[in-house]
Amino acid sequence: MNYKAFLNTVSSKVHSMPVVILYVTEGCNLKCLSCSYRLPMPGELSFEEIKDLASELGSFGLKHIVYSGGEPLLRRDFREICAVFAGLKVKQTLLTNGLLLAKRAVEFKGVFDEIIVSLDGADAATHNRLRGVNSFDLILDGIQKARLANSAKQISIRTVIQKQNFRQLPGFIELAKQTGVSRISFLAADVSSEAYGRDNDPARGDVAAESTLALNKDEVPEMKDIIYQASLKYKNEFESWLISESPGKLGHIANYYAALIGMDTFPENLCNAPMVSSVITSTGDIHPCFFLPKYGNIRESSFNQLINSGSIINTRKKVKLMEPERCQKCVCTLFTSSRRALMDRF
């Protein structure tokens, strides 16, 4: 029983931090339309700093480390970083664009609980256009190499559904079946926060305008119909959880795009991400989640001091009521029930 995590879900002060998303680098080898991460940030956390952070997180109830970025596999000492967290006996998940999987899969044999590979097109032409680099075939090869090498217990695909790929929804499901992954999940494109490097930092690359990602008034009903048809055709795939979302949850993606153009209200969100998780960037900034602003830096204060500072407690109170506008428009919520927290399921 994890009583500390349980208490997190019923209060604004946290007693442990079960899930941490760590950007091991903000450098990336793709050039996605919706994201500006390109080169590593100056002064990224060193291996020694990550080791110290891991030790602090370990004594603060860490259960699950999620590596993100940027592209984590670009970091040469990433295998050593994983070994540090393996020493804490926590669950390890890798979020990756998959481009280096073919090259590094064997090195990570038995390391991850889950590898989640982002794919933005169900065919090479679409994926390569949206991701700015000819990468589709290499990524599919990487998925197979990671499966063969047992780099993870589970390999999944994640797709951001938007204007330029929503008609490929059935194609993505077919691709998931062909590649033999454990599951495929879909989410809407975030167009209203500074996440994914959309913060106008001159050190980063350009990002696409909202209009190139968001659906228009003719496309929203078309997307709803595609989801409906998929719910009939892929009944087994929904029921077996090959598709992580239910048809109703996929419908929320269409509703979100409808709301962006004033055709509907935003789907109701439920989230307690800041009560059970933290996002730490490659330069040590700490955020309550992917989307809300930072509230400190681990180089300036210790994680323990930051995690219950006045400003984050205030943010947690607001998130409980879903007050921040970003929460109302959020495309990637995280909700952990008190029961699940008590059962230590992170």
Which positions lie near ligand SF4, rule CB under 6 A? Answer: 28, 30, 32, 35, 37, 69-71, 97, 196, 269, 271, 273-274, 288-289, 291-292, 319, 324, 326-327, 330, 333-334
Shortest Cβ distance from residue 277 to ligand SF4 (Å)? 9
For residue 236, what are the contacts with CB-CB under 8 A and spacing of at least 6? Answer: none
Nearer to ligand SF4, 28 or 254 (CB): 28
Shortest Cβ distance from residue 261 to ligand SF4 (Å)? 21
Shortest Cβ distance from residue 149 to ligand SF4 (Å)? 21
Shortest Cβ distance from residue 73 to ligand SF4 (Å)? 11
Shortest Cβ distance from residue 119 to ligand SF4 (Å)? 10
Angle formed at CA 14 by CA 276 and CA 187, multiple of 5 degrees: 20
Shortest Cβ distance from residue 218 to ligand SF4 (Å)? 27
Nearer to ligand SF4, 238 or 277 (CB): 277
Buried b (16+ CB within 10 A) or exposed e, 198-216: beeeeebeebbeeeebbbe
